[in-house]
């Protein structure tokens, strides 16, 4: 390129830069309505509300530490990687799960894994006791008694084949019990069980195998000692 042509090219480039300064750069993906927008959802772990050993003897410290720092942390990394790779632009968890049937399996499964575990940690506490007040009244009104509720919830946890979750949800002013497979939850448009989650129990083997091995029933029975009923009642409000 001659020196004159080079100077002309540079001058024209500078003029173009001035003319387009301040205009947004629009990629093909963004022009089609895709692409991670500013403020796109990023999942994160909640801070564990208690020490790893706080729920002993019902859930042991080693299981809690591995569950929180390995399994849960991996779901966070994987879903955020999927959001970036798939250019998912949803800005809220509600919107993300309402479109679960339209996103990749990696995004859906790991997003569910993050949310479900964040929920699970918060509905447990040391020395949980029994429900009282409005949550007790709601359980009695929906299931007849707390004992009948325990029986039905435990059955949902035991009958879930393989990996999944048992749930207590509120829908249309009534409480109901059900379960979901893998990391699905009742907020997903693809879930057969729908409603506002109030209580959940993780029945994946990694949640209990170190202490209980194949005795899921013992793990389910122990869960009734560590439920944070104040948190359950708050979510019902």
Q: Which residue did the predictor score with more confidence, 31 or 70?
A: 70
- CA nearest neighbour of 58 among 218, 232, 204: 218
Give pLDDT tens digits for 109-163.
999 999 999 999 999 999 998 999 999 999 999 999 999 999 999 999 999 999 9
For domain 60-237, give its CATH number from 3.50.50.60, 1.20.58.480, 3.30.530.20, 3.55.40.20.
3.55.40.20
38-64 per-position pLDDT tens digit: 578 999 999 999 999 999 999 999 999
Tokens of 7: 């100077």
- pLDDT tens profile 150-177: 999 999 999 999 999 999 999 988 999 9
Residue 168's SS3 state is strand
Q: What is the pLDDT of residue 160?
A: 97
List Cβ neighbours of 201 (8 Å cut-off, separation of 6 or more): 120, 153, 157, 165, 166, 220, 223
pTM of the shown model:
0.83
Within 13 Å of residue 197, how many CA atoms lie on the same side as its CB?
25
């Amino acid at each position: 390129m001659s020196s004159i042509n080079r100077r002309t090219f540079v001058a024209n480039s500078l003029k173009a830069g001035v003319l387009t300064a301040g205009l947004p750069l629009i990629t093909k993906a963004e022009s089609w309505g895709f692409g991670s927008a500013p403020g796109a959802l990023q999942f994160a772990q909640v801070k564990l509300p208690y020490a790893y050993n706080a729920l002993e003897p019902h859930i042991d410290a080693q299981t809690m530490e591995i569950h929180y720092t390995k399994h849960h942390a991996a779901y966070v990394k994987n879903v955020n990687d999927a959001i970036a790779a798939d250019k998912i632009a949803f800005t809220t968890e509600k919107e993300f799960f309402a479109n679960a049937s339209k996103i990749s399996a990696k995004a859906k499964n790991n997003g569910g894994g993050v949310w479900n575990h964040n929920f699970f940690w918060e509905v447990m506490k040391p020395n949980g006791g029994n429900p009282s007040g409005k949550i007790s009244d709601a359980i009695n009104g929906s299931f007849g008694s707390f004992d009948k509720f325990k029986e039905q919830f435990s059955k949902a946890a035991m009958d879930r084949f393989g990996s999944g979750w048992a749930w207590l949800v509120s829908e249309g002013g009534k409480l109901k019990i059900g379960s979901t497979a893998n990391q699905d939850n009742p907020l997903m448009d693809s879930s057969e069980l729908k409603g506002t989650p109030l209580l959940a129990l993780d029945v994946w083997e990694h949640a209990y195998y170190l202490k209980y091995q194949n005795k899921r029933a013992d793990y389910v029975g122990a869960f009734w000692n560590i439920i944070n009923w104040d948190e359950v009642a708050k979510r019902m409000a």
